[in-house]
Structure 1
């Protein structure tokens, strides 16, 4: 196992699987092992990621697949061989959403969305279908964004045709079906409380009240900004905050929005970085960016300063980023068919104190004090 693995197909989506979903698979493997045991690191971490992608229409000979790979958090490595794999019929699985507790995966295909049971992918059984069309999302065109709220009680889908849809889960009762939400919906994110859904597309972000099924705000770009991705998080004071990653002529930009007034708080320019993927750690401490050049950048959400930079993490553009549930590490994926696990470095907190500046000010204070005392005659020249 190593922190970078190649899985043989362009990867477009990635997410972590809830521990409860993989526990039975790992325990079963342990029972079936020859010596009746498994390495302590594998059994204790109980972590897996699911990856989706493929060759598209099939002329390349590369299949469209979903694979599940084990992550060893003690050795910080990815398994070379998947612990589960299924070939997807109906086209490329371009986007996906993992249910936070049920072990269910929803994948967006070119015309419809399909549902997969992750346990069945890891432990296929004879006669059990591995994929099932979601009737309410059949023949609706490609969905560019899928998201569950944190409770898993609501599913949102955003289409290439600009339609925003919100459903109760698992009943799939329609809460919202807005056909002209955007020219096309590029990204979706639920607020931490689940009260709001933000949909992003074209020049606007729209904020939806989920319970009322109405739009309550529109967030507009400025100057040369092009909104690319959005994520909710919580700041140090426990307040919800919305981050929007944007592309500009000078590089990437991260914009912070107040979720009460829906006004901009501030923006941070990431000069010369071309953003292709964006995410926020579950604990809200870090923002991660993937670039067209294959780099991965991790910055502090409070100081907006670089925490880690992984140059050429991939050979092609980064398509997706996903933090582990405990925010200890980040998985990045790319069209280069590789997944890379990056451990978040633990650095000493300085509480915002810039020590080089403090030292410089202290030296200047000594110099000024010395000359003041000389002028007053309190000390004399040697």
Structure 2
């Protein structure tokens, strides 16, 4: 496995890939005058030389916030970032931007945004005109958004709620509150992703517990919104999630600074890369053919992982079969010895 880490000079909050597989990194010091600039940069990745070469850099207005989210248009050379306006504009109620989440649908005709104020907007692209009036879920911060493969649904999560919203009229079709797992305290939602490829009928959500409790990934049947599978993934809360374009792989970054690549079919952990960064991971992205997975952190580093085409089989299953075979042979020997007496 090829894995290398590069220092990029500023805290990174969001990552993505262009259509031609160049890497997009965005972040900075945020609003104010702390000396750390807010930037959007595009790099060429060379896994042989284990290096990043900067192609383009765009420095943002120093009064604006750092980019906190990115969505790359699936067909055009366009990107949507979530960036707050200047502090004085926010105080005046003139924040023209989106603090947290941006997401294009599969064919790039719709753009959804969600903010810390609980407002979700659905816009036509490229006109950026509303499909329906913005919806506000007061008292909630929108942490993540995603479109179903056919574009009919928009999923959104706050720590407390999962909403399934019709993209036709903005009506909430389903509301799921904090899931209670293992008969313990309620967990908190963190991310949501609709499946792709063979898994379009599944919605994946990450739910985190308290600091020392394992996080879980839940799979939901989109025909009736029932939970069909729940599995613990790693020992510490999950901070970032990414899915490959073919829907086969789903990756998670955790507060233990590790990354786990899982099967979307079973949620089995296929690969673990421990201690990738010195600080938690806010963003992950697969490239277009899922041969690379990139993570970034507020520690101003970017990590590039080469993803194998195939993964070793689950050794736990092999050990179980061997153990059962051993017990079977022991039983046969016992039967034979009793027959000889």
Matched residue of 1:100: which SS? coil
Q: Does 2:13 correspond to 1:52?
A: no
Instruction: For 1:53-202, list aligned pairs within 5 A.
Output: 53-72=27-46, 75=48, 77-79=50-52, 81-89=53-61, 90-111=64-85, 139-140=95-96, 142-181=98-137, 183-202=140-159
Distance 2:214 2:298 in 1: 21
CA contact (8 A) 2:156 2:163 kept: yes
Instruction: For 1:232-311, list aligned pairs within 5 A.
Output: 232-234=194-196, 236=198, 238-249=199-210, 250-270=213-233, 272-311=235-274
Question: Do the aligned partners of residues 266 and 370 (structure 1) sit closer, same or farther apart at CA in structure 2, a change above 3 Å counting?
Answer: same
Gaps of 5+ in 2: 87-93, 181-185
Question: Do the aligned partners of residues 220 and 86 (structure 1) sit closer, same or farther apart at CA in structure 2, a change above 3 Å counting?
Answer: same
Distance 2:163 2:11 in 1: 31
- For residue 119 of structure 1, what is the aligned residue in structure 2? none
CA contact (8 A) 2:83 2:100 kept: no
Matched residue of 2:43: which SS? strand
Rg: which structure is higher? Answer: 1
Matched residue of 1:370: which SS? helix
- The one-character-per-residue Cα deviations of 1:210-257 (angstroms, maximum 9, x if unpaired) are 123322111222232110111111475x54211111111212111111
CA contact (8 A) 1:164 1:177 kept: no
1:96 Cα offset (Å): 2.1
1:353 Cα offset (Å): 8.6
Distance 2:123 2:12 in 1: 27
- The one-character-per-residue Cα deviations of 1:85-108 (angstroms, maximum 9, x if unpaired) are 010113322222211111112222
Most deviating of 353-362 and 200-209: 353-362
1:350 Cα offset (Å): 4.4
Q: TM-score, normalised by structure 2?
A: 0.87
Alignment partner of 1:227 out of 189, 193, 202 = 189
Question: Do the aligned partners of residues 287 and 162 (structure 1) sit closer, same or farther apart at CA in structure 2, a change above 3 Å counting?
Answer: same
Most deviating of 358-367 and 321-330: 358-367
1:176 Cα offset (Å): 2.9
CA contact (8 A) 1:230 1:243 kept: yes
CA contact (8 A) 2:121 2:134 kept: yes
Determine which structure has greater relative contact order: mean sequence separation of CA pairs < 8 Å that are 6+ residues apart, divided by chain length. 2
Matched residue of 1:67: which SS? strand
Q: TM-score, normalised by structure 1?
A: 0.78
Distance 1:51 1:367 in 2: 59
CA contact (8 A) 1:164 1:176 kept: no
1:298 Cα offset (Å): 1.8
Most deviating of 62-71 and 362-371: 362-371
Question: Do the aligned partners of residues 363 and 77 (structure 1) sit closer, same or farther apart at CA in structure 2, a change above 3 Å counting?
Answer: same
1:270 Cα offset (Å): 3.0
RMSD (Å), alpha carbons:
2.4
